[in-house]
Amino acid sequence: MHSMWKGSISFGLVNVPIKMFAATENKDIKLRYLHKECHTPVRYEKRCPKCDREVPMSEIVRGYEYQPNRFVVIEDSELEQLSPEKTRTIDILDFVDLARIDPIYFDKTYYLAPEESGFKAYALLRQAMNETGRIAIAKVIIRSSTSLASLRVNGNTILMETIFYPDEIRGVESLSVPAADYAVSDQEISLARQLIDSLVTDFDPGKYVDDYRASLQRLIEAKAQNETFVNAPATPAGDNVVDLMKALQASLDATKKESSTTAVKTTKGGRKKKATG
């Protein structure tokens, strides 16, 4: 497993050197868009509809749509000034009970493994968290962005889970749901509780599978085994290359024309002389 971040956990005066690994991966099967007529993969271009041309990254700036079609332009240098000072520390702020955090706050999970020099400090933090039954709330900078996170123990490993900030959680006030005292009969409640009790079991994540992904994978394999392929034609030597060659040639022609125009210069004496070369 490839580590994606190295730093340390700051725990009071204790620093635990760690490596961070992504604990999850997206296994969605990605399908590409093809042109139905010739089965060539479709390209996506950054194109300006007003100028009617593709726009290179060098001509692109960031903007926030403050009002419809009115943008505040933000320069890269301004973003750099706002960026937090880059550190390699997971700073523990508080310890709380896990049960007090609504799961809606949790975002992405990472494994934290100690560097060899930090085994003892890692084990100390892990055991202390286990014995107190607490999890840590911390701040960490990942990819130039400050994230709120929790640290908790799972088996022998400390996990870090990024947490949404409170203002990132949508309110439910606009939803139409039954009131807490919505009328249901005692008999209905009793039957519902019996149904729940009949389905109670220990959580075994291994028994849950993505049926759609498994079916799609079987379909792909079946088509591949039957050699049900379409061949994408060779992409032409690149429209961009052709356009670039045209642009270079046009520039060269323009330069020659300009040189030809200025080839005859007027001297101080009013005489004209032909430039050599």
* pLDDT 10s digits, 3-40: 888 889 988 778 888 999 989 888 888 888 888 888 88
Residue linked to tokens 């750099």: 80
On whether residue 255 sits in a domain, the answer given is no
Residue 154, beta-bridge partner list: 157
* Structural domain containing residue 52: 5-168
Residues found in the chain: 277
126 in any annotated domain: yes
Q: Residue 114 forms beta bridges with which residues?
A: 18
Of 45, 43, 39, 40, nearest to 60 by C-alpha is: 45
Per-residue tens of pLDDT for the chain, all 277 residues: 888 888 899 887 788 889 999 898 888 888 888 888 888 888 888 888 888 888 888 899 889 888 888 888 888 888 877 766 777 889 999 999 988 889 999 999 999 999 988 899 999 999 999 999 999 999 998 877 788 999 999 999 999 999 998 899 998 888 898 998 999 999 999 999 999 999 899 888 888 788 878 888 888 888 788 877 777 777 665 444 445 556 666 666 766 666 666 555 444 444 444 444 4
87 touches 139 (CB < 8 A): no
Asked whether residue 105 is assigned to any structural domain, the reply reads yes
Note whether residue 275 is domain-resident.
Answer: no
Residue 273 within any structural domain of the chain: no
**Residue 39 covered by a domain:** yes
Q: Are 16 and 118 in contact (CB under 8 A)?
A: yes
Residue 13 counted as domain residue: yes
- Which CATH number characterizes residue 84's domain? 2.40.290.10
Residue ranges with strand state E in the chain: 5-11, 14-22, 47-48, 53-54, 62-67, 70-74, 89-97, 106-114, 134-142, 145-154, 157-163, 264-266, 272-274
What's the number of domains the chain is made of? 1
Residue 264 lies in a domain: no
